[in-house]
Structure 1
Amino acid sequence: MIVGGGPAGLAFARALDGAGLRIALIERQPADLLAAPPVDGREIALTHRSVATLTRLGAWAQLRPEDVSPLRKAQVLNGASRFSFAFDTAGTGEDRLGQLVPNHRIRQALFRAIDGQPGLDLITGTGVAYVGTDRAGSRVTLADGRVLDARLLVAADSRFSAVREQLGIAAEVNRLGRSMMVCRVPHEGDHQGIATEWFDHGQTIAMLPLAHRQSSAVLTLASGQIERLASLDSGALGAEITRRYDARLGRMWVVEGPHVYPLATTYARHFAATRAALIGDAAVGMHPVTAHGFNLGLQGAATLAELIKDAAVRGDDIASSLLLRRFEAVHRLASRPIYAGTHLLVGLYTDERPAARIARRATLRAGARLPMVRQTISRLLMQH
């Protein structure tokens, strides 16, 4: 049983195709919203590894060419300085760091990929009231009263996972008191496929390059400030984003959005329990600044699915404690360093004290002088 029909849950279900298992995918949203998810403004920076995974799952072929924008280079700016710490594909043999794809298009593609999958039962329009597990198996009571039993329960129901809580798995939860506002903006200048993360004084603003001389503008401020900006009409909001970005791409205007998301990060103390596992944001809810949340979620889903398929082929227990411990160890090794590193980065580059400002400048310039640092980060951006 998989609780949660977001990208991680859908990808996990699809990755189990051919394992000979009967799978229940439970999602409280109705099926029509899964088939045609609404636009949510989020652009996902997919690594080459994630693109390869989506290709194997049959989801990449479901995307339209116009949904995919190349990410050729990334740069980090600090304060009023024009100096940038840049990452590119030099020495990698690739022509781009990754691909930018709208989140709702990825969800739609994954949903299409599971359509007609043998052994998969899609249960939509109802939530989960109760979960319980023991050594014999797992049991879920749905909000509509139905009771389901399975050998393994997998939670993929968001960073504030109710399933995780009922399983008794604690999590490190950081509510940051800040919100992210996302808008799609055409602009006069050419972004040249370069993504920018600007840790300005008092704000963080990112520009993600999209097709047709458009960008996804991502502004992070205190939640109250974001709410006030989101209430502006599209013309005033476009002018405000242009000003806050110092007109680096010329005049901007809003054609889609704004979408507002309060920021919180989570990291589960365990990724597994008796007859249960956590994937996606239920396991690790990343800060969006590094754009690796989706990629980590996809990687975790693929890791667990591979272990389960191998066990099924051998006739072994697909929810043995050894298998689940292996999954937890692998995913913790993949996720903990980047999760901790992101916290350090965000902490340093949003700290406005004089000493922190000096450290911010010094860190960027030191990294820029070390080619191996740039190359290592570029490879992580591409392949993580």
Structure 2
Amino acid sequence: MPPAPDLFTDALVVGGGLVGLTSAIALAHAGLSVILVDDVAPEASLAPTFDGRATAIAHASCQLYRALGLYDGLAADGQPILDIRVSDGRPGEKPSPLSLHFHAADIGSDPFGLMVENRHARFVLNRAIAGLPAITTIAPARVTGTRRGGAGASATLADGRTIAARLIVACDGRLSPLRAEAGIRTIGWRYPQVGIVTTVEHERPHNGLAHEHFLPAGPFAILPLTGNRSSLVWTEASDLAPLLMRMDRADFDAELRRRFGDRFGAVHSVGPRFSYPLAFHVATRFADTRLALVGDAAHGLHPIAGQGLNLGLRDVAALAEVLADGIRIGLDAGDAELLARYERWRRLDSVIMGTVMDGLNRLFSTDLAPIRLARDLGLAAVERMPGLKRFFMHHARGTVGTLPRLLEGKPL
């Protein structure tokens, strides 16, 4: 007879990134006891050098955080996105005059979303977890193996402790050991691109404008932060990116200005640079026996429209709703039909979003004259079609499709 587990919980969430932290909070609101395991101590993840990225939290995701009581904390250090401009061009040249401009005020009083630096978001989420008795955090710690069956699941930590759970929630990233252990394959590919992320300061205010400027190497996103600062997500060819990362600040800023232009006056980089290889993947299944894949464990997108985290938060909201509804009628949190419902809800949406983002990246990451002309004319055409513009704006806000209650700002 196996020894008794050291700990028991309804849901074991593995992975303490933004999606993992939000999953733990949402599942606690759904009425589950939660143990969150992460290999990084919470205080270490708050250091500016740990994660220099900022995240665009779409309007629907903001509604989720409102429903969980976290939006005010995020907004305190966040910058509303009031406008989105999409343009095409080449380094060192002015953008094409044929562009697309979205105004949030055209479809309501709320912004498209909120730009929040990841370290600030982590602080707010960790503070919320510390105040929820239903959540126990074990970090730093590492899950070395799991067992899952009809009667329940268990996980073994590197220090030898065991945790029994009704459900394991894999928020353990793109390479997801839990997904691999379950034998779930992925479909995907690497892009010949690298994402370079840094923060820039500029002379003139951005007024809440997010600018997606497409260059031959890929999208060059300028995303507004608080003050006269923006987060830069610079997609560059894989063979050139290492050279840019090695440049001293003066040379790097010179290359940055060739692409950034003078729309906000003088500009220079501040803080560290980070680089990330870019890839697309989607899991062939989002669930297995007493296992749910959430966020990057289930899918990974090109950052072309900043939808990666928001897609993961849609997973969180759907899973929390499915489990909350099941628990109300007496079902086990790891019930196979509940997990099947979660998978049906989320997989098609993820495949469609991934395919669209992949297509946009391929369309705009080319310098062939006929294709450049066609896409510029396409941007100009959408600019002159109010109905189609509103449709794209609702997509940017994340308010298209069948939304879980949390994404409508409603309680579970």
Same fold (TM over 0.5): yes
C-alpha distance in 1 between matches for 2:218 and 2:260: 10
Match 1:30 to one of 21, 31, 41: 41
Residues 1:104 and 2:119 are matched in the alignment: yes
TM-score norm. by structure 2 comes to 0.87
Write out per-residue CA displacement over residues 213-243 of structure 1, whole angstroms, 9 at most, x where no aligned residue.
2211221111231221122222332222112
Match 2:272 to one of 257, 266, 278: 257
Q: Indicate the RMSD between aligned Cα atoms, in angstroms.
A: 2.0
Equivalent residue letter for 2:39 = R
Deviation at 1:36, TM superposition (A): 5.5
Deviation at 1:382, TM superposition (A): 1.5
Q: How does 1:188-267 map to 2 (within 5 A)?
A: 188-267=203-282
Deviation at 1:132, TM superposition (A): 3.0
Deviation at 1:64, TM superposition (A): 6.3
Deviation at 1:151, TM superposition (A): 1.3
C-alpha distance in 1 between matches for 2:146 and 2:367: 45
User: CA separation of 1:355/1:10 partners in 2, compared to 1, >3 Å: closer, same or farther?
Assistant: same
Equivalent residues of 2:21, 2:125 under 8 A apart: yes
Write out per-residue CA displacement over residues 252-280 of structure 1, whole angstroms, 9 at most, x where no aligned residue.
11112211111122211111111110111
Residues 1:275 and 2:290 are matched in the alignment: yes
Deviation at 1:179, TM superposition (A): 0.8
Equivalent residues of 2:219, 2:304 under 8 A apart: no
User: CA separation of 1:353/1:9 partners in 2, compared to 1, >3 Å: closer, same or farther?
Assistant: same
Residues 1:82 and 2:93 are matched in the alignment: no
C-alpha distance in 1 between matches for 2:248 and 2:282: 37
Match of 1:3 in 2: 14
Write out per-residue CA displacement over residues 4-33 of structure 1, whole angstroms, 9 at most, x where no aligned residue.
011111111111225553322110112422
Segments of structure 1 that go 5 or more residues without pairing to the other structure are: none
Match 1:139 to one of 121, 145, 154: 154
Query: 1:83 is paired with a residue of what secondary structure?
Result: coil
Match of 2:51 in 1: 40
Deviation at 1:101, TM superposition (A): 0.8
Segments of structure 2 that go 5 or more residues without pairing to the other structure are: 1-11, 90-94, 400-412
C-alpha distance in 2 between matches for 1:106 and 1:116: 16
Write out per-residue CA displacement over residues 274-305 of structure 1, whole angstroms, 9 at most, x where no aligned residue.
11101111112121111111111112112111
User: CA separation of 1:201/1:22 partners in 2, compared to 1, >3 Å: closer, same or farther?
Assistant: closer
Deviation at 1:325, TM superposition (A): 1.1
Equivalent residue letter for 1:219 = W
Equivalent residues of 1:59, 1:112 under 8 A apart: no
C-alpha distance in 2 between matches for 1:23 and 1:96: 33
Match of 2:406 in 1: none
Equivalent residues of 1:70, 1:100 under 8 A apart: yes
Equivalent residues of 1:15, 1:302 under 8 A apart: yes
Match of 1:58 in 2: 69
